[in-house]
Structure 1
């Protein structure tokens, strides 16, 4: 028969090790009871840890896109609102222009509203949100439109073109002799050139033709902005400028009507083109909304899969905490009793 010798020291050491393990287990169980999730995901899931990490990465990507889509939607909403305002202003201006066309002092009547509308157009195209200019294309950090005022590149170039065509500046008394044919020739050529490239990009706009594209899902992107270089904005600027910057009050009635007829065509075409811009923005808005809805459904599914692996029952974890604390207290008590044992007590 074999005899095993067990010392009080070895028993005490074993109990101390057990107490240390219990403290670690209590810490983990307490965390799980508080958070409702595994304290050590890798240690608990083992081979499933890779799947959990992959799902968490997918969830993070989708949540980022959902957050980004909120910003995209906000930008599209503001852009769409401003385009709608431009359409309303242009439609109202058409009525004023038709009324002024046959008026004896129509040039004086229409010049001020045209100048106000041009300023409003440029201000709209310079609107920004969160530090980004909405109509600047991809050049979002740079204000797209320069003002049309005395000394500006745009006004200086148009005044120079008028002077070159007729031999005197806009508003000069000699303008009364300009014929409708000469005015139409100027408007269709030298004047129109100021709203085409490269003059437009040099004197008016620093916007990019390329608009912003935003990723609205893991597989889909949309055009999420508009460019001030769009034909709709150029033609509207041309109409307002010819009515406010060519000194219409000095023209004879026939030349004035030639200008108004041209402006009416431009404004009418701009309203149609602006509606097309609004339609593109509306499509992007709808696609963004639908993509966000799909992402939220996918996020919910992935969340449920993660929870199935990581979530623990807080009540069960609390029971474990109490049980482990009781074990730890018993271990401490036994350790104290064993440490008081001595052979001297039995001599």
Structure 2
């Protein structure tokens, strides 16, 4: 490799992504499976997004946040899966240094936004169930927009910080990344520079993006559970638990895999477990989210069914 000039101080112009399979037969299987997952994910999330936009009954804060989550899911899988499919088709596993940093930035931008948005959704459920009489004023359109805009600012700051910190590292070989997309833990492992500062930044960011939201979500749902148990109507309790259980399922899947992937500091070697967690983060979670919300939400089911059969 020819040394690359510039402020990034790296002697590598590109990296080699090892991907998920070595043999051509397995690569064909991976291509079909991931293409199917991509189509299902984009189709499912677009369906929910369209339903929320066209159906006045769904013009509520809960569905406003759900629509934003659908946009993030489409973005998250688009950042990682199409480039991987392109590499499988072209039989070229290399990715340039700039493209690697760009993928890293956009992935952490969208994943960071997910962290704050799930917290906003928990806050919305807390207000709706614990403060129903003042819910409309406490969760006005202005508040919704502020929560989403603030989440974007925080997520952008996080992604930019990681990208700039990574650009200060020196990569002099080897250039093999044991993954199917560029991410921090795997890049740390092949850096020639010390990564202690980068790992500290990752730990602090992880605490802010995952630790604090998880604690706040748990506290909010303790209050929600206490309020729901005081509802006398069985149907009312069932509906409240239904909307909350969908969100809790998504929270457990998202934060569980994220914490496992990013909060293990040290010099652990990259393994197939990291690839498995990466598949959960970038493919399975975005694909499951529309299924989780539509299967457990009668309002969304009703609108989607009307869209499917073409009835008013």
Query: Do Structure 1 and Structure 2 share a fold, with TM-score over 0.5?
Result: no
- Please give the TM-score of this superposition, normalised by the length of structure 2: 0.38
Relative contact order (alpha carbons < 8 A, sep ≥ 6): 1 or 2 greater?
A: 1
TM-score, normalised relative to structure 1: 0.35
Task: Pick the structure with greater CA Rg.
Answer: 1
